[in-house]
Chain A
Amino acid sequence: MDQPNNPKLNKNLKCRNRALFLVLLGLVVIFYGLAMVRMSGS
Chain B
Amino acid sequence: MRIAMQTTFQHPFPVINESSSIDSSQASVQDFITLLKPGVLLLVTYTGLIGSLLSSHLSHPFLLLIAILSIALGSGSAAAFNMWYDRDIDALMSRTQKRPIPAGKLAPHDALGYSIVLSITSVVLMAFASNWVAASWLAFSIFFYNVIYTILLKRWTSQNIVIGGAAGAFPPIIGWVSMTGSVSLEPLILFLLIFLWTPSHFWSLAILRAQEYKEAGVPMLPVTKGIGETKKQILIYTIALIACSWLPVFMDMSHWVYGTFALGLDTIYLYYAVCLYRNPDKSACKSLFIYSIVYLFLLFSAILLDFYLGF
**Which residues of A does B touch, CB under 8 Å?**
9, 12-13, 15-16, 19, 27, 30-31, 33-34, 37-38, 42
Contact = CB atoms under 8 A, between A and B. Distances in A.
A37 B121 contact: no
A38 B62 CA distance: 10
A42 B60 contact: yes
Contacts of B60: 37, 42
A8 to B, nearest CB: 9
What's the interface size class on B, roughly?
A: 10 to 19
A23 to B, nearest CB: 10
A16 B63 contact: no
Interface in B220-241: none
Contacts, number: 35
The secondary structure that dominates the A interface is: helix
A29 B132 CA distance: 21
B28 interface: yes
Given A27-B121, A31-B128, A9 B62 contact: no
Contact of B28 (A16, A30, A31, A38): A16
B71 to A, nearest CB: 14
A34 B66 contact: yes
A15 B286 CA distance: 36
Nearest to A27: B121
A30 B63 contact: no
Contact of A12 (B28, B66, B121): B28
